[in-house]
Amino acid sequence: MFRRSLCFLLIIFLSLPTTVSAYIPTPEENELLTTIERDTLQYFIRLSDKNTGLTRDSSRTGSPCSIAATGFALAAFAIGNERGWITKEYAYGRILSTLKVLKEKAEHQNGFFYHFLDARTAKRVWASEASSIDTALLLAGALLAAQYYPGTEVETIAHELYRRVNWRWMMNGSKFICMGWTPESGFLPYYWDSYNELMLLVALAVGAPENACPPSTWHDWLRPEGNYNGHRVIFASSGSLFTYQYSHAFIDFRGLKDQGNDFFENSREATLANRDFSMSFSEKHKGYSENSWGLSASVGPGGYKAYGALPGGAIHDGTIAPYAALSSLPFTPELSVAAVKFFHKSYGKSLYGNFGFKGAFNLDKMWCADEYLGIDQGISLLMLENFLNDGAVWKKFMALDAIKKWRAVTGLTTAPRETVSPGLSSGAATQAASPLPQ
């Protein structure tokens, strides 16, 4: 009898959702994060061209427009409207005019836009390449915006832009998607063949309605494993935090199992490894501490570099990019919130401005960036939105037919969810709620 009761209790216990401690931000923290998100939106409002809608790569004078930043801008306007920070007329108008320019004026090659465009003419500048990853980020923003305005011209044009991309052409006859193409030298000798920010690109390429890449394009890229301080990570060669974030800004990887890999958990481990790595150098670099971390590609005292941690390239010189910790909010909420509060309180005077956090700082060299980067602001805004607004971006994006197709043809399975996060509950019918484990 006792044994049967024990077994019964054990079964009951195992059938209960696993409770993982989840971080609940205080009202003050929520207010701070909301303020940051609203301020960050200003980057896209102020630094997108009034006529073409193209968004500047950087706030620095003379900076060209970046199609990746423009993609984030499209998403940002829709989110800003949803949050009530800008009117629907304004947001919709800006998104529509931008999409029209992208469709009719912006230079492209087989649907792939050139990385940098002139703000007024939408023509290629700086001999930039027709970029696969930046086109993916642009299309992701456009498709996300389309989800906010279903049945409108925005949705129509966004899907037209998506359909006209010849993803197979960018494979250049190989197993992988090429990084880019230039009229001068053809395809670049680099391919998306190993883990990094490629997941969004490959998902859109495989899930495309026309000229899609085969499912093997998803399966074949390398998933190299590394370990740092007990954190097992499928790592990117640079070790930059952004590589673990960009795809997750749009795609909800929670519960998705890829060949047994959980990329949401992977990004969490990578974030913890990145933090541990910088903390191990806290005696050498003044800027590194338990609340001051985030090694990711950013501007630095010596220019833009792919800063990162182990496992990976691990280039670092004491430069911290605030967007890195901020954009890890869904993965490490408590640590990220603590970092954001620290950055804001300790260095806010020089590090925080009208458009949110600036690019980076380096205490060893008493240096602070005097510019904001469009893609840094974009990833920050989207991750803040996911964290503060119940995974709003994820829900919209995961509902896209392209994403459903990608999941179906690649056989990505959904693992049972564990528990509901106070910070993030799921409203999607196809997915159970997920915690933000800490």
297 binds another protein, rule: CB under 8 A:
yes
Task: Identify the residue among 212, 272, 306, 337 touching another protein (CB under 8 A).
Answer: 306
Q: Is 135 in the site for another protein (CB under 8 A)?
A: no
Minimum distance from CB of 239 to another protein (Å)?
10
Query: What is the distance, to the nearest Å, from the Cα of residue 112 to the centroid of all Cα atoms in its chain?
Result: 20
Is residue 151 a contact residue for another protein (CB under 8 A)? no
Cα separation, 362 vs 379, in Å, equals 21
Shorter beta-carbon distance to another protein: residue 8 or 304: 304
Q: Report if residue 374 touches another protein, rule: CB under 8 A.
A: no
Check residue 184 for interaction with another protein (CB under 8 A).
no
Is 366 a binding residue for another protein by CB under 8 A? The answer is no
Shortest distance, position 246 Cβ to another protein, whole Å = 12
What are the helix (H) ranges across 352-400? 374-388, 392-398
17-45 burial, b at 16+ Cβ within 10 Å, e below that, comes to eeeeebbebeeebeebbeebbbbbbbbbb
Report the 10 Å Cβ neighbour count for 253: 22
Q: Indicate the residue among 116 and 352 with the shorter CB distance to another protein.
A: 116
Closest distance to another protein from the beta carbon of 107 (Å) = 16
Query: How far, in Å, are 134, 179, 281, 327 from residue 294 at the CA level?
Result: 23, 26, 13, 10
Give the E-state strand segments of 154-307 in sequence order: 177-178, 180-182, 186-187, 191-192, 225-228, 231-234, 256-257
For residues 58 to 97, the per-residue mask of contacts with another protein, x marking binding by CB under 8 A and - elsewhere, is: x-xxxxx---------------------------------
Interface mask (CB under 8 A) for another protein, residues 223-262, using x and -? ---------------x------------------------
CB of 237 to another protein, least distance (A): 9
- Cα-to-chain-centroid distance, residue 5: 49
Return the residue of 141, 313, 356, 437 that touches another protein, per CB under 8 A.
313
CB of 292 to another protein, least distance (A): 22
Integer angstrom CA distances of residue 186 from 82, 114, 128, 181, 190? 41, 13, 12, 5, 12
Site residue total, another protein (CB under 8 A): 24
Shortest Cβ distance from residue 326 to another protein (Å)? Answer: 20
Min dist. Cβ of residue 133 to another protein (A): 8
Q: How far apart are CA 236 and CA 263, in angstroms?
A: 12
- Locate the DSSP E strands across 341-417: 352-353, 356-357, 361-362, 367-368, 413-414
Residue 306: CB minimum distance to another protein, A:
4
Nearer to another protein, 25 or 180 (CB): 180
Between 58 and 431, name the residue whose CB sits nearer to another protein.
Answer: 58
Which residue of 7, 9, 190, 229 would you call a contact of another protein, by CB under 8 A? 190
> Does residue 319 touch another protein according to CB under 8 A?
no
Tokens of 231: 């954190």
**Interacting residues of 311 by C-beta distance below 8 A, sequence separation 6+:** 226, 227, 228, 233, 235, 239, 273
Interatomic CA distance for residues 360 and 354, integer angstroms: 15
Residue 126 found at the interface with another protein (CB under 8 A):
yes
Cα 378-219-324 angle, rounded to 5 deg: 25
Least distance to another protein, CB of residue 283, Å: 22
Report in angstroms how near the CB of residue 59 gets to another protein at its nearest.
12
Q: Which stretch binds another protein (CB under 8 A): 31-39, 53-61, 86-94, 270-278?
A: 53-61
| CB-neighbour burial class of residue 333 (10 A; exposed 0-12, middle 13-18, buried 19+) | buried
302 binds another protein (CB under 8 A): yes
Kindly tell me which of 174 and 414 has the beta carbon lying closer to another protein: 174
- 186 by Cβ neighbours in 10 Å (0-12 / 13-18 / 19+) ranks as exposed
303 sits near another protein (criterion: CB under 8 A): yes
- Could you tell me what percentage of the chain is helix, strand and coil, using 3-state DSSP and rounding each to the nearest 5? 45, 15, 40
Stretch that binds another protein, among 12-20, 154-162, 299-307, 411-419 (CB under 8 A): 299-307
Instruction: Please report, as ranges, the residues that interact with another protein according to CB under 8 A.
Output: 57-58, 60-64, 115-116, 126, 128, 179, 188, 190, 238, 297, 301-306, 313, 315
